[in-house]
């Protein structure tokens, strides 16, 4: 068996791409997208028609917002024709600090999917794991709209998401590693911080163990990987969302894959509960420089790519 096939024995594999042609090669259960991935995809000739059609059909109705929403839905529907499970579609990052606007946008996106015959159970609405985003997810989950909490870098964020009843969280492994490497500079010891000792891997394991220890139903989906080593160190996580280049590496490898995370180990661990109210959340996040900086940076980057995508639409619309 390939490493990818072995991994699928322990973990649900999700494709992290807007390039749905590539998904067919690796048979993932689910797929995730974000503004950066969509922006990258629509610049390829084979996806240009989706952008052109969304612009042509919807620009006259409500301007850029309508085209952007329809473009996201178009990609999502194409992806759902390939994967048997769910697709994640992201709310505009510029709404990350506005609970009511996030709720309104999520409801609108779900309504667009349902107009195309897609059941809401097959869609996860991606929302940044700010306090306002988490409160939006709490409202949406009660409506039967399932949420994928993204840009998540800390246990404080993860616990608040679980308390809110979010369907799924996407803790970012690679971006955590990036921060610690940058902080260490020339003193970074790659060997000492590899495998199970990778700071991003340790963060996800801590979250996974906390959830399983205390019986939270929220799914854990490791994301933002820099290497197959990070992925294999989290074998056993509920889900892992993996980019096409790393899926290819796993499919080409026959290295043995062992389960690293398990409910049994988590339940046997000595873990203390942490508070998840707003004051505790904000203080714990403030005390975690890495999580604070990477959350803010991630929101800025996704927002910037949304602006670039809008610019492409504007140019097409003339």
Dihedral class, residue 210 (left if φ above 0, else alpha if ψ from -120 to 50, else beta) = alpha
**In the chain, what are the domain boundaries?**
7-317
Task: Tell me what pLDDT residue 34 has.
Answer: 87
pLDDT value, residue 33? 87
Q: Can you tell me the distance from the alpha carbon of 310 to that of 19, in angstroms, rounded to the nearest whole number?
A: 19
Structure tokens at 62: 């409500």
* Strand 168-171, strand 30-32: pairing: unpaired
At residue 22, the pLDDT reads 83
Q: What is the structure's pLDDT at 60?
A: 65
Q: What is the pLDDT of residue 62?
A: 65
Kindly list the catalytic residues.
126
> What pLDDT score does 20 carry?
81
Check residue 66 and give its pLDDT.
87
* 235 backbone dihedrals φ, ψ, rounded to 5°: -60, 125
Closest CA to 150 of 196, 106, 104, 209: 106
Q: What is the structure's pLDDT at 132?
A: 98
The confidence score (pLDDT) of residue 197 equals 97
Q: Supply the pLDDT for residue 64.
A: 83
The residues pairing with 90 across neighbouring beta strands, listed in sequence order, are: 126
Q: Are strands 219-222 and 12-16 parallel, antiparallel or unpaired?
A: unpaired
DSSP annotation of 240 reads E
pLDDT for res 314: 83
- CB of 124 within 8 A of CB of 80? no
Structure confidence at residue 272 (pLDDT): 97
The fold of 7-317 is TIM Barrel (3.20.20)
Mark the ranges of the chain whose per-residue pLDDT is less than 50. none
Element housing 35 (H / E): helix 35-42
Q: Helix, strand or coil for residue 158?
A: helix
pLDDT at residue 88, rounded to an integer:
96
């Amino acid at each position: 068996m390939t490493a990818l096939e072995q991994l699928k024995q322990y973990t649900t594999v999700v494709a992290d791409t807007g390039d749905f042609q590539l998904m067919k090669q690796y048979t993932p259960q689910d797929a995730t997208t974000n503004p950066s991935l969509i922006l990258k995809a629509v610049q390829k000739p084979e996806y240009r028609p989706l952008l052109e059609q969304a612009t042509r059909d919807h620009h006259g109705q409500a301007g850029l917002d309508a085209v952007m929403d329809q473009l996201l839905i178009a990609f999502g529907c194409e992806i759902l024709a390939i994967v048997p499970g769910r697709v994640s579609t992201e709310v505009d990052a510029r709404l990350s600090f506005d609970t009511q606007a996030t709720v309104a946008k999520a409801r609108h996106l779900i309504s667009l999917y349902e107009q195309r015959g897609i059941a809401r159970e097959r869609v996860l609405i991606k929302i940044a794991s700010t306090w306002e985003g988490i409160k939006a997810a709490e409202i949406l989950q009660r409506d039967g709209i399932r949420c994928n909490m993204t840009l998540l870098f800390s246990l404080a964020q993860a616990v608040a998401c679980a308390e809110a009843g979010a369907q799924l969280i996407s803790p970012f492994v690679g971006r955590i590693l990036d921060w610690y490497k940058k902080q260490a500079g020339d003193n970074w010891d790659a060997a000492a911080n590899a495998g199970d000792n990778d700071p991003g891997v340790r963060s996800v394991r801590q979250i996974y163990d906390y959830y399983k220890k205390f019986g939270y139903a929220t799914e854990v989906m490791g994301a933002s990987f820099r290497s197959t080593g990070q992925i294999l160190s989290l074998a056993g996580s509920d889900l892992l969302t993996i980019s096409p280049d790393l899926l290819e590496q796993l499919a080409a490898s026959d290295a043995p894959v062992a389960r690293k995370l398990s409910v049994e180990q988590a339940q046997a661990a000595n873990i203390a509960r942490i508070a998840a109210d707003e004051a505790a959340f904000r203080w714990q996040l403030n005390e975690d420089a890495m999580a604070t900086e990477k959350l803010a940076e991630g929101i800025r980057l996704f927002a910037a790519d949304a602006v670039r995508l809008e610019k492409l639409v504007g140019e097409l619309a003339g």
